């Protein structure tokens, strides 16, 4: 069976914005409400990464972003290479467009990302800077960026993917020049620039217990003991069904929450080896369900974000050859079993939440 015949629901006619969020006016039967409506009942933000070219050019895409989601994450336009392509020349235009869209749609913005080893401008990676210069460049980048969006970004992914799979710190430009202290510095600088934004450490392959997740836990424990303002941990949630689905995710989230931080699923997608078939799509749906379910079972899990929502626009085929179909809608915006699984999980949650 192809994805197109899994469901007859095509998500095109939904009305964007707060009107849709208010609920009940889009002609859908009860129980078939947009994700943001279902999540609002539970004070959970349900978000998506947004591709700004698609948002500008593709009206169905734009409508679905507005109607289905209550938070947005820029997929690329808040990364350093986009914000400062040439040294000292800042370009906030695309990021500002998303922030305005979010405001008009009653959505929060998850800022992504301040410190990462990817998507750095070439003037920076090829610059041959001293450690002192690099520290000042990083301080300035964080300060300028967070100040620019002050009051308009809800969560910041301050440090992204700083660990390797074995739990050692990843060998990056930042670690080599500045040592491990760059992580604490980054959180302190971001907090100074916008004390009201919630500051996250974000990584992949940490949704279940293991050396990497243990290392992030130890880092967060140490930072908080030192008074460093790390306030959340983002579990990206990039899964591939060929690797099997993780277990123990909710228990893992809870051990982070015991340190006093919020948790969030920040980049969920569940890829597969193509072509998709009915069984793979069922397993994919189970992958999405278990990530959302872990969030719903965890008292301070504040948001659940998918890394794109339609197979029409996805980073996966360009990165993993022969893989794809990772999103909850197919390329024609038709709901896959994964979308139904998210609806069902949101509609069926069973516990009071204590979201902070
Ligand atoms: O902007 C250039 C454009 O000028 C050029 O013409 C085009 C030609 O390839 O490339 C464009 O840059 C691409 C960029 O996305 C913007 O579209 C890069 O090649 C491409 O590598 C880049 O991919 C992004 C990837 O991060 C980079 O690491 C994906 O879209 C984005 O989904 C992905 O997101 C990351 C999160 O930030 C962190 N966690 C993992 C996640 C998935 O890899």
Determine the distance separating the centroid of ligand 1 and the alpha carbon of 297, expressed in angstroms: 32
Is residue 279 annotated as a catalytic residue, yes or no?
A: no
Give domain status of residue 351, yes or no. no
Measured between alpha carbons, how far is 196 from 27 in angstroms, rounded to an integer? 38
Q: Is 236 in the pocket of ligand 1 (CB under 6 A)?
A: yes
Give domain status of residue 356, yes or no. no
> In total, how many domains does the chain have?
1
- The mean pLDDT of 200-226, rounded to a whole number, is 98
Task: From the CA of 204, give the closest atom in ligand 1.
Answer: 39
Measured between alpha carbons, how far is 119 from 135 in angstroms, rounded to an integer? 18
Confidence of residue 28 (pLDDT cuts 50, 70, 90): low
Determine the distance separating the centroid of ligand 1 and the alpha carbon of 355, expressed in angstroms: 32
Give domain status of residue 185, yes or no. yes
Task: From the CA of 319, give the closest atom in ligand 1.
Answer: 43
- The mean pLDDT of 230-254, rounded to a whole number, is 98
Mean pLDDT of the chain: 92
Give domain status of residue 355, yes or no. no
Measured between alpha carbons, how far is 84 from 348 in angstroms, rounded to an integer? 44
pLDDT in tens, 97-152: 999 999 999 999 999 999 999 999 999 999 999 999 999 999 999 999 999 999 99
Distances (CA, A) of 2 to 36, 261, 278, 286, 328: 27, 41, 7, 18, 14
Point out the catalytic residue in the list 68, 257, 267, 279. 267
Q: Which two tokens stand for residue 189?
A: 């600088």
Q: What is the DSSP string of 40-57?
A: HTTT-EEEEEE-HHHHHH
Residue ID of nearest Cα to ligand 1 atom 28: 118
Task: From the CA of 308, give the closest atom in ligand 1.
Answer: 32
Q: Which two tokens stand for residue 145?
A: 């960026």
Point out the catalytic residue in the list 75, 136, 161, 279. 161
Residue the block writes with tokens 């278990």: 290
Residue the block writes with tokens 């679905």: 64
Determine the distance separating the centroid of ligand 1 and the alpha carbon of 36, expressed in angstroms: 26
* Cβ within 8 Å of residue 273, ≥6 positions away: 242, 280, 322, 323
Q: Is 75 in the pocket of ligand 1 (CB under 6 A)?
A: yes
- The mean pLDDT of 302-330, rounded to a whole number, is 98
Residue the block writes with tokens 């990039």: 238
Give domain status of residue 64, yes or no. yes
Residue ID of nearest Cα to ligand 1 atom 43: 315
| pTM for this entry | 0.93
Q: State the DSSP code for 85.
A: S
For residue 30, pLDDT beyond 70: no
Is residue 84 annotated as a catalytic residue, yes or no?
A: no
pLDDT in tens, 152-182: 999 999 999 999 999 999 999 999 999 999 9
- Gyration radius of the chain's alpha carbons: 20
- Which residue segment(s) compose the domain that 179 sits in? 3-346
For residue 221, the domain's CATH number is 3.20.20.80
What's the pLDDT at 22?
A: 37
- The mean pLDDT of 293-322, rounded to a whole number, is 97
- The mean pLDDT of 287-301, rounded to a whole number, is 97
Residue ID of nearest Cα to ligand 1 atom 9: 318
Give domain status of residue 353, yes or no. no
Confidence of residue 353 (pLDDT cuts 50, 70, 90): low
12-26, 46-60, 277-291: lowest mean pLDDT where? Answer: 12-26
Q: Is 118 in the pocket of ligand 1 (CB under 6 A)?
A: yes
Give domain status of residue 267, yes or no. yes
Give domain status of residue 76, yes or no. yes
What's the pLDDT at 300?
A: 96
Continuous H helices in 16-78: 18-22, 35-40, 52-57, 59-68
What's the pLDDT at 343?
A: 97
């Amino acid at each position: 069976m192809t994805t197109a015949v899994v469901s007859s629901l095509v998500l095109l006619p939904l009305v964007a914005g707060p009107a849709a969020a208010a609920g009940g006016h889009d002609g859908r039967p009860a129980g078939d409400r947009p994700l943001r409506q279902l999540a609002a009942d539970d004070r959970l933000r349900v978000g998506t990464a947004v591709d700004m070219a698609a948002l500008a050019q593709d009206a169905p895409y734009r409508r679905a972003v507005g109607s289905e989601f209550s938070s947005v994450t820029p997929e690329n336009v808040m990364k350093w290479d986009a914000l400062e392509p040439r040294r000292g020349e800042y370009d906030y235009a695309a990021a500002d467009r998303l922030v305005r869209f979010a405001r008009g749609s009653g959505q929060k913005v998850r800022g992504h990302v301040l410190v990462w080893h990817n998507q750095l401008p070439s003037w920076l990676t090829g610059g041959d800077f001293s450690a002192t210069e690099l520290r000042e460049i990083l301080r300035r980048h964080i300060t300028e960026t967070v100040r620019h969006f002050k009051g308009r970004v809800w969560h910041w992914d301050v440090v992204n993917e700083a660990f390797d799979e074995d739990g050692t710190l990843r060998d990056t430009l930042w670690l080599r020049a500045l040592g491990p202290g760059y992580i604490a510095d980054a959180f302190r600088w971001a907090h100074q620039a916008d004390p009201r934004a919630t500051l996250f450490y974000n990584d992949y392959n940490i949704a279940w217990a293991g050396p990497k997740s243990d290392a992030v836990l130890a880092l967060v424990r140490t930072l908080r003991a030192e008074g460093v303002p790390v306030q959340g941990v983002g579990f990206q949630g990039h899964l591939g069904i060929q690797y099997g689905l993780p277990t123990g995710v909710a228990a893992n989230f809870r051990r982070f929450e015991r340190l006093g931080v919020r948790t969030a699923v920040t980049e969920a997608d569940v890829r597969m080896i193509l072509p998709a078939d009915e069984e793979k799509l069922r397993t994919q749906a189970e992958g999405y369900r278990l990530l959302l379910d872990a969030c719903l079972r965890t008292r301070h899990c504040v948001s659940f974000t998918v890394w794109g929502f339609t197979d029409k626009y996805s980073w996966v085929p360009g990165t993993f050859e022969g893989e794809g179909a990772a999103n909850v809608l197919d390329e024609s915006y038709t709901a896959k079993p994964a979308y139904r699984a998210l609806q069902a999980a949101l509609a069926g949650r069973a516990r009071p939440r204590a979201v902070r």
